[in-house]
A and B are shown apart, each in its own frame.
Chain A
Amino acid sequence: DVKVTQSSRYLVKRTGEKVFLECVQDMDHENMFWYRQDPGLGLRLIYFSYDVKMKEKGDIPEGYSVSREKKERFSLILESASTNQTSMYLCASSPAGAKYEQYFGPGTRLTVT
């Protein structure tokens, strides 16, 4: 059974802080993704990675960066948090042969005040 975990379920940060969101998967998946979820907008892709140290921009990468130093771990970084980054953040992973069959983590609800 695929397990994708995220470091925090709830996080409150102040404007301008640097924020790290961590995601770990235990199924040896090559692909990992970061989405944000906002009401009425569905899930929007921020960044994804198909291999260690590789990253690709998604649809809304502005204000975010990512790091993938190990295969099982994919970090999302908000360099200087802003109130419009208040959202639910979902991590997902998928195997190399089926990158679109994505398994999601439980999400981190981030509030920036």
Chain B
Amino acid sequence: GENVEQHPSTLSVQEGDSAVIKCTYSDSASNYFPWYKQELGKRPQLIIDIRSNVGEKKDQRIAVTLNKTAKHFSLHITETQPEDSAVYFCAATYNAGNMLTFGGGTRLMVKP
């Protein structure tokens, strides 16, 4: 199956700084890469996604980049705020898009 590695496992930044979380995947057939945010005690929620025919996608302060050749994708958060503090998960499809494999998660802490 697919293997998704996510780094770093924890990330601490000062409010207003940028945060970058990186993921690599193994299955070259993967074609959809979502990012989920899970606040403490809450369910994971989809915040942004990217498909394999696109190299970058932005939504306000968050952006995702995809390098299919290198098989890695990244989440970028600019102008971080305390409410960005959460665990972030990347994922990639496999098994002809029937399943998602998740990375191990990144705990982001934004210090005021």
- The chain A residues found within 8 Å of chain B, CB to CB, are 4, 35, 39-45, 48, 50, 56, 58-59, 90, 99-107
A101 to B46, CA, bound (A): 8
With A41-B104, A102-B46 already in contact, 17 other A-B pairs whose C-beta atoms are closer than 8 Å: A35-B102, A40-B9, A40-B104, A42-B102, A42-B103, A43-B102, A45-B99, A45-B100, A48-B99, A58-B99, A59-B1, A100-B32, A101-B34, A103-B46, A104-B44, A106-B42, A107-B43
Closest B residue to A4 by beta carbon equals B43
Q: How far is the CA of A103 from the CA of B93 in the complex (A)?
A: 15
User: Which of B46, B49, B100, B105 has the largest number of chain A CB atoms within 10 A?
Assistant: B100
B80 interfacial contact with A, CB 8 Å: no
Chain A residue with Cβ nearest B98: A99
A-binding residues in B (CB < 8 A): 1, 4, 6, 9, 32, 34, 36, 42-46, 49, 89, 91, 93, 97-105
A-B interface pairs (CB < 8 A), number: 53
B residues in contact with A101, CB < 8 Å = 34, 46, 49
Tell me the bound Cα distance from A62 to B89 in angstroms. 24
CB-based contact B99/A105 at 8 Å: no
